[in-house]
Amino acid sequence: MPQDLEAKLYGYYRSTAAYRVRIALGLKGLNVIHEYIHLRNGQQTSADYLAINPAGLVPYWIDAELNLAQSIAIIEYLEETYPDPPLLPKDPASRAVVREVALAVCCDIHPIGNLRVLKRLEGLGVGEADRANWSRHWIDAGFAAIEERLASQLGPFAFGEKPSLADICIVPQVFNARRFGVDLTPYPRIREIDAVASTHEAFAVASPARQPDSE
Ligand SMILES: N[C@@H](CCC(=O)N[C@@H](CS)C(=O)NCC(=O)O)C(=O)O
C-alpha cells in the first residue's frame, strides 16, 4: 500500500540523479510532492531556486525534518527511515560492494558528464561532437569497470533477484548513455539489468518519459 509523505522532491525528468531518487521512492512505495526545475532553461540558477538549494542542482529533498541535497544521501535517508524493502544487503562486506558499484556511477561517471560541465566545455570552445565524445568516453570507462565487477554476480539485477542501490544508479546512467549514443554491446550484465528494470513497475514509473515535465 503506497504511503503519502509530507515531503517534496525537486527534480527534472531527465536528471539521472533525480531519477535515482524516484526509483528508490517507488521501490519503497512512497509518494511525495514533485516540483520540476527546468535544467535546460537554466531554472536551477534562478534566484528563487538558489534560495532553496544554493548548489543549484537537483535532486533536492525537503520534509519536516531536513533539507537535503545529494541523491545518495537522500536514498540512504529513505533506506534508514523506511527499511522495507531493503536497498542494501545486511552484511557489511556485501553492503560495501553494492555501494562500490553505486558510487562508481555517482562519483566516477555522472559528475564529469553533468550539464554544467558540458556547458563549461562549450564555453572553452569544445564543439558539440567532441562534447558528446567526452561523455561517451567517461561512461565507457565507468561501465567497463562496473561490468567487470558484476560479471561474476548472478542476475538479473546487479546483485541477484532483487533491485538494490546499485541498480538504482545503473539504470538512469544507461538512459543517459543511450542519449549520448554509447554502444552497450560490451556490457551484457548492464544490459540485463536495464532489461529487467524496464519490466519492473517502480523503475518504469520513475523513467523520464513518464514524468509530467517530460518533453
Ligand atoms: N551528486 C549530485 C549530483 C546532482 C546533479 O549534478 N544534478 C544534475 C542533474 S542529474 C543537475 O542538477 N545539473 C544541473 C547543472 O549541471 O546545471 C547527486 O547525486 O544528487
Distance, in Å, from the CA atom of 23 to the CA atom of 75, rounded to the nearest integer, reads: 9
Distance, in Å, from the CA atom of 207 to the CA atom of 214, rounded to the nearest integer, reads: 10
Query: 9-86: CATH homologous superfamily?
Result: Glutaredoxin (3.40.30.10)
Evaluate: CB of 74 within 6 angstroms of ligand 1.
no
Q: Report which protein residue has its CA nearest ligand 1's atom 13.
A: 57
Q: Where are the alpha helices (DSSP H) in the chain?
A: 16-27, 47-52, 71-81, 92-103, 115-123, 128-150, 165-179, 188-198, 201-206
Q: Report which protein residue has its CA nearest ligand 1's atom 5.
A: 57
Evaluate: CB of 153 within 6 angstroms of ligand 1.
no
Return the CATH number of the domain spanning residue range 92-202: 1.20.1050.10
Successive 10-residue mean pLDDT values, the chain, 215 residues: 94 98 98 98 98 97 97 98 97 98 98 97 98 98 98 96 98 98 98 98 98 96
What is the pTM assigned to this prediction? 0.98
Residue extents of the structural domains in the chain: 9-86, 92-202
